[in-house]
Structure 1
């Protein structure tokens, strides 16, 4: 349902704004359009025609959906123009006004208005607009003694070079994104370096703050696809060094800077370099103090989530639990990390209660937070059922897991997850196996770690559960032992 997809794409603030937008458009007391949007926002999509009209009325429902969808498209366009393109709009407006004033002979006023357009375009690196500004200066240079034609030509050539660089980067960015659709793509560092060589792009010299941020974002995307943050960490650091080499970050680029700080801190965390991650997170929090309340709110969930993860894996699991519970959030990532905190403490009944609150289908969650999230949720649920000795549910969940994940895990060459599940189910059927040398050997061989620095931290966490059964120690202590002594 396209309308549902559009509604789901709205942030909480945007949804509130859209409902107000509909309320202003409504001329009648009939507010079925608002009611429909509220249903969709809550994930309620069953028998909506009956709920709205009191009886089955598919035709009226389809008409209503079409009307709401059209209103939402109009809202997205106007909202985006108002909030995302305001500076572009004003720069163009001043440019047009300056040209008209030049034509009318108001030279002094025209120059002042054109300067406003130029300053605005510079703040957002709007090279196409700057090109028009400079060409306007060249056109009317004969009227203004301060305009040097030779200087303006050089300025136009320099701007055109920046515009060409931005165009080449957009080509590179599109190529990288296209290649990352393939789960079996090579390491992103090789992909990026080859594309940059082909297009003659140099990180420090050619790329804007926005471009550096985009590149760091796709390296993180690749790491998730490849399940390998270690491979891309050098390239992420290279991008950040390129950012630092630009000198003090102007306020207008703080949007990109704080997000790069977050991505780099997250990369360090995933590679179990907790001190570096915590240091960058502290820098991020310092920078946020000087930003707007809206910017601080935009990064609140990500910041709290990362801090909670750092607490969890550095021996402060209670602090992590308190922090995450204190975050009034519908973030599914936050909910899953909270479940992990509870699980590490052996609070299995509370874990199961939290999992039971996740009532949507796995397909629904996969569309919103990805397949890896769904996989982790299902593994934790299976382990929790074993701890609660719900034998019938364990058997059913094991069969369901096999049907749901086997083909995809084989396709992405993650058979060790399947080996892990086999061992988990064998233990569930006969816990005394954990004390046998044969079972211990199978557990050790099942994971084939590449090295503890390179291994995914969440994979190690699941392995820790089996390891705790082998050595008969508390799960959290085993987890910390596996991920500790790595921070240099």
Structure 2
């Protein structure tokens, strides 16, 4: 059974109202009961029998079932239309091109239709979007009899070549799913894993795929998968060698000069891996390479990648005693238009941290107040790790600003929303950390005591400093600064560079 009330509650208040407005415009009859059903479902304390009584004045299971089915279909249509309207991804834009081209072709505007298809083909080829290309070639072939100058044999040849690429992409997709599952299993357990061996064995199982022969896009996707897994476990150390080996393949790749977009993406991921491992010189080296390729092809990708590049550069500056430069770079980036929402949120959080470490608490507080959405919204947009970091920073900042009442509510909310998940992914260190923070805020003078020091020593499963993630160490530096009554930023630098 489809639980419509649960689906409706995935929409925020504005979207719920938009859906009601959508139904109102769609309804042709004044006695349509779909809006009434939505409002009753959102209240969520009525049984099916009660809903039937309120809508029909009696029990009418058949009519209510039919109404629910129609409402579900309307919800699908509304969600799809809203997603297409709001989504500005490359895939959606190219799908719109294909739909427009087909519309022109159906109206016998053959030349215009083929011009749009060719424009879409060039972009899709550049980004190796084989499923989109399949639709483009299919449409070209379908209307080929109406376009005399079209080289049909060439299009059929390209179509068949693309089909082979599409089959390989499907095989890779299966391999990615297996790799992600293995990484998730690793994440649940406290075990070590050889990332490179895992990937090579999985690819071999899937039609003998050879990692050295993969496209830039596929190499990027593999690296992205391992990075996502590492971010969930705060473990970037174990993927460093795989990242370096991947770039060796990239440097010798035959399509190196034709795949600039994914080349830049790969350089960014590798630079970020080195940064998270506190290898700042290596991180900056890959950032320089990233900037070099951003300048290529008449700066074709400069605008698209500049915010990601500048954010990572600022973070490197912040942890290499160039905090003023870091703050300046982030302040210049924060109000730029047309920035991906995830990058924008990363910039906000990074600048808050820099202000905080710089003892500019009012600036940090003002900027944090602009992150006013619910946790549910941030989980959807930026993911779990970002949302946890944002909440932890908020708690620490409220303590240092003396907002004790806010601290209590923030702690209670964090425990309720995240402790269970942190236990599931074996992140007891975060739970232990927050418990120590709570002890400190309730009784600050105990932080410098021997008892508190011993509690800190026994509360964490410390690993080698070389392997520890930079952001995890930054949070611990706050606690150590309270214990030693020193400046947070100086303690952070000392801890990271020791």
Deviations 1:432-488 (A, max 9, x none): 212222222322333332111110111100110111122222111111111125xxx
Contact 1:219 1:236 in 2 (8 A): no
CA distance in 1 between counterparts of 2:298 and 2:457 reads 50
Contact 1:94 1:114 in 2 (8 A): no
Find the partner of 1:130 among 143, 150, 161: 161
- Judged with a 3 Å threshold, the aligned counterparts in structure 2 of structure 1 residues 217 and 4 are, in CA distance, closer, same or farther, namely farther
- Judged with a 3 Å threshold, the aligned counterparts in structure 2 of structure 1 residues 292 and 60 are, in CA distance, closer, same or farther, namely farther
Q: Tell me, yes or no, if structure 1 residue 283 matches structure 2 residue 259.
A: no
Contact 1:184 1:226 in 2 (8 A): no
Alignment of 1:351-366 (within 5 A): 351-366=364-379
- Judged with a 3 Å threshold, the aligned counterparts in structure 2 of structure 1 residues 396 and 238 are, in CA distance, closer, same or farther, namely same
Contact 1:465 1:475 in 2 (8 A): yes
Name the SS of the counterpart of 1:450 in structure 2: coil
Name the SS of the counterpart of 1:259 in structure 2: helix
CA distance in 2 between counterparts of 1:168 and 1:184 reads 26
Partner of 1:9: none
- Judged with a 3 Å threshold, the aligned counterparts in structure 2 of structure 1 residues 166 and 431 are, in CA distance, closer, same or farther, namely closer
Q: Tell me, yes or no, if structure 1 residue 261 matches structure 2 residue 267.
A: yes
Q: Which contiguous aligned blocks of 4+ residues in structure 1 show a shift greater than 6 angstroms? A: 1-6, 49-53, 60-67, 73-78, 93-101
Contact 1:189 1:235 in 2 (8 A): yes
Contact 1:204 1:245 in 2 (8 A): no
Partner of 1:80: 94
Alignment of 1:38-53 (within 5 A): 44-45=14-15, 47-48=17-18
Alignment of 1:430-469 (within 5 A): 430-469=443-482
Q: CA deviation at 1:365?
A: 0.8
Which region of structure 1 is more displaced relative to structure 2, 462-471 or 291-300? 291-300
Partner of 1:195: 202
Contact 1:443 1:466 in 2 (8 A): no
Q: CA deviation at 1:226?
A: 2.5
CA distance in 2 between counterparts of 1:349 and 1:459 reads 24
CA distance in 2 between counterparts of 1:403 and 1:5 reads 19
Q: CA deviation at 1:175?
A: 2.1
Partner of 2:432: 419
Partner of 2:212: 204
Alignment of 1:73-472 (within 5 A): 79-81=93-95, 86-87=120-121, 88=133, 114-115=153-154, 121=158, 129-130=160-161, 168-180=171-183, 182=185, 183-184=187-188, 187=193, 188-199=195-206, 200-205=208-213, 207-247=214-254, 249-251=256-258, 253-291=259-297, 295-327=301-333, 328-329=335-336, 331-472=344-485
Q: What is the total number of aligned residue pairs between the two structures?
A: 404
- Judged with a 3 Å threshold, the aligned counterparts in structure 2 of structure 1 residues 260 and 365 are, in CA distance, closer, same or farther, namely same
- Judged with a 3 Å threshold, the aligned counterparts in structure 2 of structure 1 residues 385 and 98 are, in CA distance, closer, same or farther, namely closer
Partner of 1:59: 35
Deviations 1:368-417 (A, max 9, x none): 11111111111111111111222232233223322222222222222222
Contact 2:429 2:460 in 1 (8 A): yes
Name the SS of the counterpart of 1:459 in structure 2: helix
RMSD between superposed Cα atoms in Å? 3.8
**Structure 1 unaligned regions, length at least 5:** 7-39, 122-127, 133-159
Return the TM-score normalized by structure 2.
0.70
Name the SS of the counterpart of 2:418 in structure 1: helix
Contact 1:95 1:114 in 2 (8 A): no
Name the SS of the counterpart of 1:201 in structure 2: coil
Q: CA deviation at 1:301?
A: 2.4
Partner of 1:34: none
Q: CA deviation at 1:419?
A: 1.7
Deviations 1:270-325 (A, max 9, x none): 11111111111111111111246663222232112211211111111221112112
Name the SS of the counterpart of 2:463 in structure 1: coil
Name the SS of the counterpart of 1:81 in structure 2: helix
- Judged with a 3 Å threshold, the aligned counterparts in structure 2 of structure 1 residues 45 and 81 are, in CA distance, closer, same or farther, namely closer
Contact 2:232 2:385 in 1 (8 A): no
Partner of 2:47: none
Q: CA deviation at 1:49?
A: 7.6
Return the TM-score normalized by structure 1.
0.71
CA distance in 2 between counterparts of 1:58 and 1:451 reads 60
Q: CA deviation at 1:429?
A: 2.0
